Amino acid sequence: MRDLFGDGIFAVDGDKWRHQRKLASYEFSTKILRDFSSAVFRANAEKLTSKFSVAAAAKQAIDMQDVLLKSSLDSIFKVGSGVELNSLSGSDDFGNQFTKAFDDSNFIVYCRYVDVFWELKRYLNIGMEASLKRNIKLIDSFIFELIRCKREQMKNVELDRGKEDILSRFLLESEKDPESMTDKYLRDITLNFIIAGKDTTANTLTWFFYMLCKHPLIQEKAALDVREATEAQGNLCADEFAKLVTEAALEKMHYLHAALSETLRLYPAVPVDGKNAAEDDILPDGFKVKKGDGVNYMTYAMGRMTYIWGEDAEEFRPERWLVNGVFRSESPYKFAAFQAGPRICPGKEFAYRQMKILAAVLLQFFRFKLVDETKEATYRTMFTLHVDKGLHLYAYPR
């Protein structure tokens, strides 16, 4: 994984992990970032609404996964660095190239786990390894230029240091320790946070809309939940409605929150995760683990276990998360989509807020239907759970 992830938070341990985790946890907990990110999510939801309106008027199918991945990338770039990527609009050719290089690299690195000849291919610079090298060169040039521009901006502009984005905070840290926090290290940190914020929410929302199309009644319940929480009345435009999707309104969207959690239970953004044992141990079932052993846990399989979730474990039923209409969370050791313990995802609430805002705005204006209702979606094997060949659907104005 190192060629792509470097020394970013996904691939390191010890002091570097603690350092990145501490800074990220602080940043995600600030009200300033919460307010700024919510404004970015609302703006991108409006852009998505415009895109779907055009497709609906022309009665054209749209690849939901493709537009969500681009929208999510635009969001994390804006929140993480203050930069407008505009990959959703298609106006930025380099942004589109970056997106493709990003996704292809993710797939190729994952393939290394089953390709026993990948090191030889990398040495000979052939096949997918040659493609990966080209992709990483493009990614690096983009990220290094982003770091350079941000550093220049910070030198030339008197910034309110309480309102800085994630990249700015790491750049400030690099001034204290330039020898350790080189541009290469900053590249690794930045790229890992882009990966964390791009694929996970976009993939979850893709599976979410797939399940809503498969369960039209649940789709209507979620749309009703949004209308009641926002108290939207009359024929509002996307801009006007987005302003109603406040923090208070999001807190009231219990059914939508439950439907998203149910999606994550069945289709976790990261379907399998691996750990290394720091010391000899014995698991609760008596299985012995030796120091250095690799241990994988499969959130994808766990979400379908009747032992954990009951006899209806394979059913998509948001009501399992509700008690008298109010969302009730589960233990992270049972619902492990965001991990648990010291490595629980610091961006969990950030992700839910982004997903709820985008889902709320789209459900307010559109009803969604699969292009081929007989086709069952399958996943593409990657670090994150993509729908294979995209999710093609029609949007109908409400």
Give me the domains of the chain, ranges plus CATH numbers.
2-397 (1.10.630.10)
User: Contacts from 52-61 at CB under 8 Å and sequence distance 24+?
Assistant: 52/362, 52/365, 52/366, 52/395, 53/365, 53/397, 55/394, 55/395, 56/366, 56/394, 56/395, 56/396, 56/397, 59/394, 61/371, 61/392, 61/393, 61/394
User: CB–CB of 58/376 below 8 Å?
Assistant: no
pLDDT(147) > 80: yes
For 348-395, the DSSP string reads HHHHHHHHHHHHHHHHHHEEEEESSTTPPP-EE-SSS-EETT--EEEE
Backbone phi, psi, residue 94, to 5°:
-65, -35
Tokens 């509700």 map to which residue?
322
Which residue, 222, 232, 217, is CA-closest to 358?
Answer: 222
Backbone phi, psi, residue 282, to 5°:
-125, 125
Model confidence pLDDT, tens digit, residues 34-49: 888 899 999 999 999 9
pLDDT(21) > 70: yes
pLDDT(117) > 70: yes
Q: What is the mean pLDDT of residues 280-286?
A: 93
Q: What percent of the chain has pLDDT over 90?
A: 55
Lowest mean pLDDT among 58-62, 168-172, 374-378: 168-172
Q: What is the mean pLDDT of residues 123-139?
A: 94
pLDDT of residue 290: 96
pLDDT band, residue 342 (cuts 50/70/90):
confident
pLDDT band, residue 91 (cuts 50/70/90):
low
Chain-wide mean pLDDT for the chain? 89
Q: What angle do CA 77, 83, 88 make, to 5 degrees?
A: 60
Q: What is the mean pLDDT of residues 211-230?
A: 97
pLDDT band, residue 135 (cuts 50/70/90):
very high
pLDDT of residue 90: 63
Return the number of other C-beta atoms located less than 10 Å from residue 245's C-beta: 25
pLDDT band, residue 370 (cuts 50/70/90):
very high
DSSP strand pairing (288-289 vs 281-282): antiparallel
pLDDT band, residue 88 (cuts 50/70/90):
confident
Rounded to an integer, what is the distance from CA 291 to the centroid of its chain?
32
pLDDT of residue 247: 94
Q: What is the mean pLDDT of residues 302-313?
A: 96
Rounded to an integer, what is the distance from CA 227 to the centroid of its chain?
25
pLDDT(164) > 70: no
Lowest mean pLDDT among 182-186, 251-255, 320-324: 182-186
**pTM, whole model, 2 decimals?**
0.89
pLDDT of residue 92: 56
Tokens 């289709």 map to which residue?
267
Spatial distance between the Cα atoms of 254 and 217, rounded to a whole number of angstroms? 16
Q: What angle do CA 220, 38, 162 make, to 5 degrees?
A: 165
pLDDT of residue 133: 95
pLDDT of residue 229: 96
User: Contacts from 137-141 at CB under 8 Å and sequence distance 24+?
Assistant: 138/97, 138/98, 138/101, 139/98, 139/101, 139/102, 139/105, 139/191, 140/187
pLDDT of residue 162: 47
